[in-house]
Amino acid sequence: MWRQAFILVCLLLPFLGGFGAWAQDRAALVADSVSIANDRQLIAEGGVEIFYKGARLRATRIVYDRSTDRLLITGPIVLEEEGGTIVFADQADLRTDLTEGILTSARLVLDQQLQLSTAELQRIGGRYTQLGRTVASSCKICAGSTTPTWEIRASRVVHDEVERQIYFDNAQFRVAGVPVFYIPRLRLPDPTLDRATGFLFPTARVTSRLGSGLKLPYFIALGARRDLTLTPYLTTGGARSVELRYREAFRTGGIVIDGALSHDDLVAGRRGYLLARGAFVLPRDFVLTFRGEVVSDPAYLLDYGISGEDRLDSRIEVTRTRRNEYIIGRIIGFNSIREGDINSNLPSLVTDLTFHRRFSGGPLGGEAGLRFQTHTHRRSSDSTIDADGDGISDGRDVARASVRLDWRRSWTLPSGIEATVAAEGSADFYTISQDALFAGSTTRTHTAIATELRWPWSKTGRSGVSHVIEPVVQLVVAPRSTDAVPNEDSVLVEFDEGNLFALDRFPGSDDVERGFRANVGVTYTRYDPAGWTLGFALGRVIRDEDLGQFGVASGLDGASSDWLAAVQVALPDGFLLTHRSVFSNDFDITKSETRIDVARDRFGLGASYIAAIPDPAENRTNRLSELTFDASYAFASGWTGKASGRYDLESASGTLAGLGLVYSNECISVDVSLSRRFTSSTNVQPSTDFNLSVDLVGFGSGTKAGPARVCRN
């Protein structure tokens, strides 16, 4: 039997009067054979397909009865709708527009995730789909097993296609076939709905300080652009808390407000915090961002597992970044909850304005840059630091305006030597109050001129391996002395391969590197065709005089600095090793850092080790030696283990430790974590936290489906 060509139903003339609506909407029928019986029935058989208003129906046999305007369909039946809904059935009795009727032995599939199986499915008014006794799940069921990982059984289910909601009557939630709880009436969003008012999945949390508790979020959609989530949290330790999250989207940005209000037996009175964040796009490529945070007491954020912050940073910033221009203006408020900090002695209000522009060097050639900056910081203390710097309270307030001009040009000399001349000049105007030593106005100028020679040597062997060696010598001339100002933004100085050949290694503006010096070093890089690279750098700074600018832990103190050595190894399989050491001529380590990163399909690791000698200039009275790591391993399909920790090698004790286990498949995601904080202070105590969260895929939770289970014969 040959397959009929694409047959338009509206062309079957007098017999198809009942198909008028189909004809007007260009319905189409394809089948192996089409016949007319009793002058009132159209019979299509063999690979039957109907296309109507974006819907596609496939079946074995369809009988259209003109007298009843009905379709009697023999399966297997597959009905695919424009919104992605699919219905499977054995038999069906439907209206010609497919909007009403009954399907037997049916399955309703929503967004290729959630399946609802029933003996009888009824379509009503083109909007509702009603199912009788139903089993709903998004889990894969293997042959020989009728029990999914989870399922919802109900006496009746109604799917509202307009509101995209699913209503369950007498719902029973089961896990591995075991009933867990019963709900007389349950409403859940279908998988295509991103936002709907209702309860979200709960999270269980057990802590040594608050006891066992349950968080039950309730999401409230306040319109298309805003929503509110309220999360009650009750614990066996007597804690009662309500968390909130408010979000609103605007045409040019959005805001997020997080907060909580709590009462427990750990601290008298009410406890809580509030955090507001936002970002907006302004005219002329400017971007506005803000963040504001307050907390009731130092231990609250840790007790309730919100964050590990110990210095709160509230700010508002306006920035613009272009190819050769950077502008930022900001106001920052700091509030420390760290043990030992006195907020009145810390800069609590900071303002900054920076304009930085790069441009051509003009007649001089090369590239130049101009930076203009203003800065102020105020302390709430009214005390004045004495002339000897021994004041108990420090109330120093500072205002500064700075301008810096820099220029750089390079030439290529014979034998491939690259010669560079660089120069920079800056002027800073300070106004200082509440400081007997530095009070008043001070103008400071500084210049530096450098000449640099680089001579890269390159060789490529027969195997394709390339070697590049580059010795570098840089001579810097700068004044030996300048007007003194208090150093508050340049206390912590890092010596690394990034600033080995810098004209000024201080990170801020309060101090500048002075004196005549030579920066010398050599780099070596090996490129292998197999995809891995090896890089090495070695260098130091030699001065004509020790001006006592740097602390001992920086590695830059003395007439000659410590040696800087850095190594990096990158392999094509996602392995990266970075090591940096600063050491003396006797190979005594001043500061050392090692970082290992591994990114594989099943395994991930980020581990670092840092060591540094004591240095009062960096507010460190004891040697630092610490190891941290964060690892994950997918040991089976859908199963991932996680571990993290921080260990103090000097005290031979751990500070943080965490373990986690995540299971995810096509229908469920379970995240279990256990963490322990070992450190204590007057503000916080050691604690252990256990968290359990479960998300079901298929109900608009936003959780992505994991790998589907593999069925074994």
Report how far residue 533's alpha carbon sits from residue 546's, in angstroms, rounded to the nearest whole number: 38
pLDDT at 12: 40
Please give the span between the terminal C-alpha atoms of the chain, in angstroms, as a whole number: 38
Q: How many Cα atoms are found within 13 Å in the side-chain-facing hemisphere of 333?
A: 9
| CB-count exposure of residue 555 (10 Å: 0-12, 13-18, 19+) | buried
Q: The pTM is what?
A: 0.83
| CB-count exposure of residue 86 (10 Å: 0-12, 13-18, 19+) | middle
Listed by start position, the domains of the chain span: 1-98, 105-193
CB 107 within 8 A of CB 89: yes
- Strands 270-281 and 253-263, how do they pair? antiparallel
CB 237 within 8 A of CB 264: yes
Read out DSSP for 568-585? EEE-TTSEEEEEEEEE-T
pLDDT at 703: 63
Tens digits of residue pLDDT in 677-694: 887 666 677 889 999 998
Amino acid letter, residue 439: A
CB 352 within 8 A of CB 328: yes
- CA-to-CA separations, 685 to 34, 206, 299, 628, 659, in angstroms, rounded: 81, 16, 8, 21, 20
CB 582 within 8 A of CB 563: yes
pLDDT at 681: 65
Q: How many helices (H) and strands (E) are present in the chain, helices listed first?
A: 2, 44
With a cut of 50, which residues of the chain have pLDDT below it? 1-24, 389-393
| CB-count exposure of residue 531 (10 Å: 0-12, 13-18, 19+) | exposed
User: 């259209």: which residue's tokens?
Assistant: 64
Give the gyration radius of the chain's Cα atoms. 36
pLDDT at 473: 98
pLDDT at 15: 42
